[in-house]
Amino acid sequence: MTIASNLGFPRIGPDRELKRALEHYWAGRSTADDLAASAQAIRRTNWERQTRLGIEHVPSNDFSLYDHVLDTAVMLGVVPERFRRLTEIDDTQRYFAMARGIGDGRSSVLAMEMTKWFDTNYHYIVPEFEPEQDFYLASMKPVNEFLEARALGIVTRPVVLGPISFLLLGKNRRTPQPPLARLHAVLPAYEQLLTRLHAAGAQWVQFDEPCLALGLSSTEQRAYHTAYERLGAAGPRVLVATYFGDLGANLPTALALPVAALHLDLVRGAGQLMPALEGAPDTLALSLGVVDGRNVWRADLDAALAPLLRATRALGTDRVLVAPSCSLLHVPVDLESEAALDDELRGWLAFATQKLQEVSLLTAAVRGEPGQAAEAFAEARLAQERRRASSRTHDATVRAREAAVSEDMLRRAPYAVRRARQARRLKLPPLPTTTIGSFPQTPELRRARADARAGRLGQQAYDAFLRARIEEAIEVQEDAGLDVFVHGEFERNDMVEYFGEQFTGFAFTQQGWVQSYGSRCVKPPIIYGDVSRPHPMTVRWTTFAQSLTSRPVKGMLTGPVTMLQWSFVRDDQPRERTCRQLALVIRDEAADLEAAGIRVIQIDEPAIREGLPLRAEEWSAYLRWAVRAFRLASSGVGDGTQVHTHMCYAAFDDIIAAVAEMDADVLSIETSRSDMELLATFGRVGYPNAVGPGVYDVHSPAIPAAGDIEHLLSNALAVLSPGQLWVNPDCGLKTRRWEEVRPALAAMVTAAKRMRLSHGLT
């Protein structure tokens, strides 16, 4: 019988219960036992919800207190020596130290590196493998959570990051050996885990192997067979889950794995179904991801049913599982929480809960079961028709302007010319210091914003509150001695949402939260129609900040690619077209800032690497339109206006030529967790423009010491010339407390001044 299944459910809780539990624990307002109880309550709610929705393969171990890759590292004993040495802390504190770092300004232990999970906005902690790494089953978390669900009467399918993807996503430290060379060392721990799960009563285990969607070498392809020849025979039936793309040349490898089932993402890789049906051995079941786990649009049930029926005709009903395309980690929990959305737009949407309802309906339709399936299919059909016919999605004026974009609109003078003009205008010292943009979003600030939204705080009083916060931020920067200031972004709830709220074609949710990392949750806007800007958005507060100081204050904008990547994007036209519309509105805003006297404008693009397709053959097309969108947004200002951009947690090796082609005057990047390792790429290609490599980790509560920052700057100067180097934190400071920000900025400025003296820079 065809099975309704799920690969993973949002772990934050329907009302962000995990966020609050974590932050209470980190602040010392609750104990580890309190945190564990909160986590258990979220897991129970998730399991029971999925069971009620008719899901028969309910996942367990998809929950994490911070990150599932970090959980896997801890489970396998992959704890770097610098954290093992911390004997004064317990295991829970050590786990969070690995994710967030630990320190007091005098000494610190750096957190592990964090980077993007494939082409999503989720961040994972990068495993670190030491030269003599010993792998062993150090944690029973998957077994314990399986037993926890079983005690509730729910037999789950435990989810574990597979051994090949775990190794490929990690890094070897102090050895050139590729991580995959450690496969034979890690497999016994995985086998032991399967033995324990089998003894606990697990019938299925899901191994996530998203790296199968990447371009793999023949050695890596062979490693999959080596691994699953052992794991497929270790006890429970094994489902290998792939997602985020078509497997392409890796499909024969995946089909040949000696496992019980293979999951395929048919939303992003519809073309792989027919070769999979033709190549699947008689012993292999296929889990088919026909409901989009990455976006919020209601499924076209008729279109989703067609491949399922094709599969059951080829394989039989007993060898087909119905599922979302990937874990539902990437979408909000429940559309029912969105009472403020208008009925028309609500009719177009589905969140995690509704997507599992769609999975259940599709399963019932495949089985030919009577009930509500026919009515639900008719409703879905009508919703699709109404969306296509809606006047809300098309704006003739926007489309005419988009069609009129010319090559001249994408060009500025050569960088050398711009640099000279900007130097005369700005008069900055060598190694100029700045921050990335945001300052602490304190509880007081969040309360004031909420009160203003709810009407409890009048606009005049709220504006006075914001002016006071900006004045405070300027004073902090004056005291620290920074060279280029920011206004602090106190009026902004989120770097995408703030802008989208002022655009046409955008909609916003009240509870549409999605985890980005740890306790950090974002509420992505929904782009449902053509995008335009009715009025200027940032000029008022930026010019107010500039009036308070003689130092230049940056105008802070979010770039078009990041606006696109960090939103739920309409799926009824090419993403390139939506991005071009976004670029035009950012271009207009930059021109307004320049006209108001702002001399430095930062157009952040932290998500440009994230948007890179997983398949190398698709990179050039994406990078071409992404770079053009940035240049369209940034090239409407004069040559004397300095344009910055910011990118964080990205591997630049694959895109360095495109980054150079973006031609920002100053590029700031995250480098502190990797000890400036990323800069090697910039040195190798002779990157010509200015670079601000992050000198301390803003995602850690640890306060950096000036000496540590000098060490990083010395590493940077081994690659960059002094005229190229800027000094800044890794990212914005919104998640930090003022008690951390003030000494950190002071240490950063002190380090920059010492480096100027020691290198004879004046």
Instruction: Write out the catalytic residue numbers.
Output: 699
State both tokens at 112.
Answer: 């592990």
C-alpha distance across the termini of the chain, in Å: 76
Give every CB contact of residue 614 below 8 A, 6+ residues apart in sequence: 118, 119, 213, 214, 244, 245
* CA separation for the pair 677, 510 (Å, rounded): 40
Taking the CB of residue 718, how many other CB atoms lie within 10 A of it? Answer: 11
* CA separation for the pair 641, 609 (Å, rounded): 25
**Residue 151, SS3 per DSSP:** coil
Rounding to the nearest 10 degrees, give the CA dihedral for residues 328, 331, 335, 338: 150
Closest listed residue to residue 486, CA positions, set 436, 550, 539: 436
State both tokens at 613.
Answer: 């397709």
* CA separation for the pair 635, 630 (Å, rounded): 8
State both tokens at 528.
Answer: 């449902």
Residues making up the chain, counted from first to last: 762
Between the alpha carbon of residue 593 and those of residues 136, 350, 544, the distances in Å are: 57, 38, 12
φ, ψ for residue 691, nearest 5 deg: -135, 135
* CA separation for the pair 485, 479 (Å, rounded): 12
What residue type is assigned to position 370 of the chain?
A: P
Question: Residue 601's beta-bridge partner residues?
Answer: 555, 643
| Contact indicator for 253, 212 with CB cutoff of 8 Å | yes
Could you tell me whether strands 108-109 and 690-693 are parallel, antiparallel, or unpaired per DSSP bridges? unpaired
Closest listed residue to residue 251, CA positions, set 227, 226, 282, 286: 286
* CA separation for the pair 432, 484 (Å, rounded): 7
| Contact indicator for 749, 480 with CB cutoff of 8 Å | yes
Question: Residue 297's beta-bridge partner residues?
Answer: 349
Cα radius of gyration rounded to whole Å, the chain: 26
DSSP, residue by residue, 452-469: HHHTSS-HHHHHHHHHHH
| Contact indicator for 107, 88 with CB cutoff of 8 Å | no
Question: Residue 520's beta-bridge partner residues?
Answer: 517
State both tokens at 621.
Answer: 């097309």
- Tokens 């889950």, residue located: 241
Taking the CB of residue 429, how many other CB atoms lie within 10 A of it? Answer: 12
CA angle, 466 then 471 then 475, to 5°? 145
* CA separation for the pair 225, 284 (Å, rounded): 15
Instruction: Tally helices (H) and strands (E) across the chain.
Output: 28, 24
Beta strands in 400-485 (DSSP E): none
* CA separation for the pair 181, 617 (Å, rounded): 27
Closest listed residue to residue 81, CA positions, set 125, 136, 132: 132
* CA separation for the pair 153, 350 (Å, rounded): 28
Cα–chain-centroid distance for residue 184?
31
Taking the CB of residue 260, how many other CB atoms lie within 10 A of it? Answer: 18
Could you tell me whether strands 59-60 and 504-507 are parallel, antiparallel, or unpaired per DSSP bridges? unpaired
Q: Is 574 exposed, middle or buried (0-12, 13-18, 19+ CB in 10 A)?
A: exposed
- Tokens 């049913």, residue located: 305
